[in-house]
Amino acid sequence: MNILDPGFSPSEAKIRYLDADYVVVKPGTFVRCAVTGVPIPIDDLTYWSVDRQEAYASAEIAFQAYQSSIGES
């Protein structure tokens, strides 16, 4: 896959998040951060919530989401 290829079209993946891994349900090149909406390349995906089944763009954003989920309880 060459992202510089003029025919390349990024697509959003669907992922099932597990404790230390994830399963690709629908192949794609990125997922969206649940808080910011920023696309996260699959190769850079590091932070997610198993309980909420959401991806996060950074540790800080993941922590913000965690804090807000505590406030909802």
Segment 2-26, tens digit of pLDDT: 555 666 678 999 999 999 999 999 9
The pLDDT mean for the chain works out to 90
The pTM for the full model equals: 0.82
Give the residues across from 40 on adjacent strands.
Answer: 31
Q: Could you tell me if 54 and 47 are in contact, meaning their C-beta atoms sit under 8 angstroms apart?
A: no
Residue 42 has pLDDT above 60, yes or no: yes
Do 32 and 44 touch, CB atoms closer than 8 A? no
SS3 assignment, position 25: strand
CB atoms within 10 A of CB 18: 10
Across 32-39, average pLDDT: 97
Give the pLDDT confidence score for residue 5 in this predicted structure. 61
